[in-house]
Amino acid sequence: MTKHVLLNNIDHQHTKVIHHFGVDYGDNIASALVFPTEFNELQKEYPILARRDEASGQFQAIVLMGFAADENLYLAAEQPSGWDARYIPATIEKGPFLIGFSRNSGQSDAAEDPVVHIDLDHPKVISKQASKQESNQGQPLFLPEGGNSPYLLHISAKLQAIHQGIALSSVMFSAFEQLELLEPVTIEFSLRNGDKRRLIGNYCIDQSRLAALRGADLEKLHQSGFLQLAHAMVSSMSNIRDLIERKNRLLALSTDL
């Protein structure tokens, strides 16, 4: 159940949010929606792939974090944040926050400005009625004098990256499709315990077609900034090996126990 409301420093002056990641907070997911505005950081930690949205048929970028529905191999209880990577995808780090829109005047054709909403029913939200122990775990959203806290400023930057990335994503994938740079990829591997895994339904950049681009096509892709993003997706594929090793270490740990 969700309860989305507009965030403000009056109603939510004492509201806090847990900035920690774990199974109890619903972070045990095998993939996360990501955006081109994050690719530079994502490529260092995760495999960046593309999938077709079932409803729209449009391509979306995702990062792979596990090999089963409820498996996130980046969750690590021993880490202070509960996450074992230098960068956390914005759609996960935003936690209970989301982007809403408000009109800047009473006119029906007025431009809509993005604003921050919060899901008060999210497991990471701590209300002012919470116990003292729970309250100490959370990050404040507002300063005593009413200004935004450093944590809320950080989250606002993540929401901005999502907001900008949504529009950029559709344009980028349109360019990739026009140049036939996307190809389906089947990820097959064996774990150290002998189990075999096979993942289908994902797409990656066709490296041979990317390398063969010449002239106007190459220049257009470069000028738009999408050439760099395509190379980021290619570079990120090496992280699949790291993901497999994470799975092997987890299996070895469970066997030792």
pLDDT digits (tens, 9 = 90+) for 183-199: 999 999 999 999 999 99
pLDDT score, position 191? 94
Please report, in angstroms and rounded to a whole number, the separation of the first and last CA atoms in the chain: 36
The residues with which 148 forms a beta bridge, in sequence order, are 142
Res 114 pLDDT > 90: no
For residues 225-248, average pLDDT = 97
> Residue 204, by phi and psi: left (phi above 0), alpha (psi -120 to 50) or beta?
beta
DSSP state of 83: B
254 vs 87, higher pLDDT: 87
Q: Tell which residue, 141, 143, 41, has the closest CA to residue 90.
A: 41
Range 89-108 average pLDDT = 82
41 confidence band (pLDDT: 50, 70, 90)? very high
Residue 163 tokens, joined: 């907001």
134 band by pLDDT with thresholds 50, 70 and 90: low
Output the six-digit token pair for 4. Answer: 């989305």
- Name the band, by pLDDT with cuts 50, 70 and 90, for residue 130: low
Pairwise CA distance, residues 123 & 129, whole Å: 14
Q: What pLDDT score does 137 carry?
A: 78
Q: Is the pLDDT of residue 257 over 70?
A: no
**Average pLDDT of the residues in 4-23:** 94
Distance CA 13, CA 149 (A): 11
Backbone φ and ψ of 202, nearest 5°: -105, 160
Q: pLDDT category, 110, cuts 50, 70, 90? A: low
Q: Which pTM was predicted?
A: 0.91
Q: Which helix (H) or strand (E) holds 117?
A: strand 112-119
CA–CA gap between residue 104 and residue 113 (Å, rounded): 7
